[in-house]
Structure 1
Amino acid sequence: MSDSFDHNAQVIERRWPALFARLITERSMQEQAELVEGLGSTLSISGIQLTSRHDRTREARLQAASLPSDAPVVHVYGTGLGDLPTVLLENADIQRVFVHILNGAIFRLTLQLLDQQHWLNDPRIELRYAGDAPDIYMPFFALPAEMLLADDFNAKIRDRLISEVHLAFNNREFDPNSPEIIQRLEESLELVSQDADVAELFSTCSGREVYVIATGPSLEHHFEQLRAIREQEPRPLFISVDTAYRPLREHGIAPDIVVSIDQRIGFRHLPPEDTGDIPLVYLPLSDPQVLAAWQGARYVGYSASPVYAALRQALPKAELYVGGSVIHPAVDLAVKMGADRITLFGADFAFPMNKTHAGWGDGDLGPGVSQARHWVLDGNGQRVSTQLNFRSYLCELERYIAGHPKVSFFNSSRAGAMIVGTTFNQEFVQ
């Protein structure tokens, strides 16, 4: 490997001067890098190999083969050692290859060690920082090593890439042909047929502010203030997700509406006592015994999932948006009820204060804090631990917010994940 930075830099400065100005300010990675040899060689950064150490070109050809062969435009996330862009450019039918930098410091190091002019000079190449885009582009290949090594600036795009890559895996438990799914829908059929359509709630609170209350640890900071606001008149509408319901009631706060979608939600989450004045909005996979015991009015809707295809045809009901978490339909309900201002509580998508949820013990609602292997940036720009599915839920909420520009979204805390598209509600954020 030779010091080729000057030659590479001349190409980048000529073609992408603004990007070059940023690139030369990236920190040095040389102390964290080492040469790893096998049948060939590669770089290892903090113990993570950027490519195969045996046959980088063969690996790149396998990666290229996963992309549609007839796609005129393709996107590569991560620069690696330049092997994948080089292989893709061998295809004369490809008109444009967008290379999105996931770690600027790694890319700068690569430019210092290897001649990259062969692909940087190609007019079909467009070079960008991944984090400059609001979302990911298709079709794409994301280099596995740099999904792990993405820097803070590009972390949002990294999260969306991982969410997309894992989509089929995450949907595996919602197979319409699953015996468990079929049985649950059969058990819920009577309730679905007799309960009110969630559409009856739409447009009933036009112009009213809505608080959507989730169960992230930061909710614990707001119980007292929420209880005081709950006694005011007029006041915002309180929509609670199912797992936040019990902690709210334990602190003397009765939500106006509860939303539940998960088939695993039971009586410990939604105790039916004193619920006569609280409507429950649910999807048909919810536990029918829990639904039947609820004393208040019940409203049912569907998501766009194929799971509900047959039910949707037999018993038409309105849809709520679901992106993996109950917070998505809760927010969508608020929007469809007519809210033009929504403040999120406990929407942390992370484990601030070394806790998983407000009002629940570590591991009560899923993996404990000690099992967290991932991170997001919080409202102060600091890394906070999380789990993989939380990052996916965050991505889907951000996409939803981006799709509703006429609604103002606010976050009540800086402790949890920074949610793109929200601003901080100064009534609650110090």
Structure 2
Amino acid sequence: MFVDKAKIYLKGGDGGDGLVAFRREKYVAEGGPAGGDGGNGGDIIFRVDEGLRTLMDFKYQKHFKAARGEKGKPKNQHGANAEDLILRVPPGTTVTDSDTGEVIVDLVQHGQEAVIARGGRGGRGNVRFATPSNPAPYIAENGEEGQERYVELELKVMADVGLVGFPSVGKSTLLSVVSAAKPKTGAYHFTTITPNLGVVSVGDDRSFVMADLPGLIEGAHEGVGLGHEFLRHVERTRVILHVIDMAATEGRDPVQDYRQINRELELYNAKLAERPQIIVANKMDIPDAEANLERFREELAQDGEVPEIIPISAATRQGVQDMIYKAADLLDTIPVAPAVEEVGELEERKVYRLEKTDELEDFVIKRDNEVYVVEGAALERLMKRTQLQSYDAFVRLSRILRKSGVEQALREQGAEDGDTIRIGEYEFEFVEKD
């Protein structure tokens, strides 16, 4: 089964919690803090494997979660970092954030890796919080939560040459003739419903990968006839072989076929109109093909077009070797690296910007009825890391909120003594100090 799209859920591993511990040794009356840091959670990494051809591995398993970091240990021993979770994907896989639509990465080369969901940092143990004024702190941090996201995987077949054209023009037959690939062929439309790949040997120590792409029809750029499912694979090809039934065995006009397919390509992606293209006039062994080819050349010339046209017959192999040489020569002039998808600009957000500190950066304050809600990624991470059951930790949190300007910002927004403040999942009472 060929699977070229998948939506999956990823969660990086949570960091391990830091530990509150103290030295307990013989002859040491008052041992200092000795709680170690928690280990980092595992990342989820996508790695390109050229042995894969589909996204079949993600059809039945759609949830992936990396391991959590180990908790901190006594005697200032750090917890172990969790192992990363490696997911293998085929070349040509584009990874997109489902919520924002942002292209995260375009994976095209064997062995290429990208971290898609990062693991959380381990929490610090109490040895990290010792100060001259508080040499024995009962403060440790919870591990940071791993990154959580839904992503969409889209596979665009990686091939040097792509065969495009209307259904039943002979694309599958041509691929079976020039390579060892055995695509399904038949005397009916849409025999090919998934891309087929084959390696073409030129005969002079050169070779290239050819893709037989499913047939296109009018309206394909709008998704008609599964158009989008087919057209996405054309984007990866470096050269387009536009196969035309020059004998008009289906009763269509070769000139109209040529113009319609090019129009569908351009409407789907304007850059495809600039892609190098060779016209392959197929079925030249059938009567009337020569006359149609002559008319085809004349009508294109009247429009100022003088494209390269190679007459062939996939059935008798007439002209096929010439076509292979032409394609190989053209490929030699084109860079191998495929175009990487452009990442769209993120939507601009208005934030309440205050002085940046080691703990907090930007945050916003809004009203939810009578509750003041303080939002900010760094602030919410701080809340989750803080072990609020510890008095020392709570005092430290209050000091950070005050020094970072959160308290002052709340006053400017109208917060008064006794008002409810919500930060993440936690609610507090605003208290004005004398």
**TM category, shorter:** under 0.3
Q: Which has the larger radius of gyration?
A: 2
Q: Which has the higher helix share?
A: 1
More strand by share: 2
Task: Give the TM-score normalised by the residue count of structure 2.
Answer: 0.19
